[in-house]
Amino acid sequence: MLLRWLVPYRYSRAIEEIDLRALRADGIRGVIVDLDNTIVPWKASQPTPAVQRWIADLIASGMQACIVSNNFAGRVRTLAEHLHVPVVIGAVKPTPWAFRKAMKVMGTTPRETALVGDQLFTDILGGNLLGLRTILVDPLSAREFPTTMLVRRIERLVRRRVLQHVRPSPHA
């Protein structure tokens, strides 16, 4: 059934609420992070101080991070440089190649990699297909790429049902 491929391992309202100690306890050594509406609102050029701190704390804890984005814009590289993390652009999620490339960059396997994203049909589906520990977060903004807005309509139909199957997220 398709639904099982859409169920994230965990759910958190926002990326900065994800407990890094819990990730490490789960054996996670690397975190793939979506960009638009996960780290920053769509088309934004700066993450909030709370997100910047979370990324810095992730790195300071000894875990690796890599941004994976469908976007090609220079803004993606600039944000990644600002956060001091590598980036894979033009990902065409949910196809697996960009997630595999990110794991290669981080030196991790699927079992020790988490993926954080705001979309069921790109981030969560793609991560689940590879056996990653997927974490769904709420989108930061209602502003989105036009095709994403269309997919969100379908996502809203299944999101509540999907979230009924998610393990509760531990908090710090």
Report all structural domains of the chain as residue ranges with CATH numbers, in order of start: 3-163 (3.40.50.1000)
| Tokens found for residue 130 | 């590879």
Mutual angle of helices 74-83 and 49-60, in 10-degree steps: 60
Which residue positions in the chain have pLDDT lower than 50?
172
Q: Is 168 exposed, middle or buried (0-12, 13-18, 19+ CB in 10 A)?
A: exposed
Which pTM value belongs to this model?
0.88
- pLDDT for 160: 75
Averaged pLDDT score across all residues of the chain: 88
**Which phi-psi region, left, alpha or beta, contains residue 160 (left: φ > 0; alpha: ψ -120 to 50)?**
alpha
> pLDDT value at position 172?
45
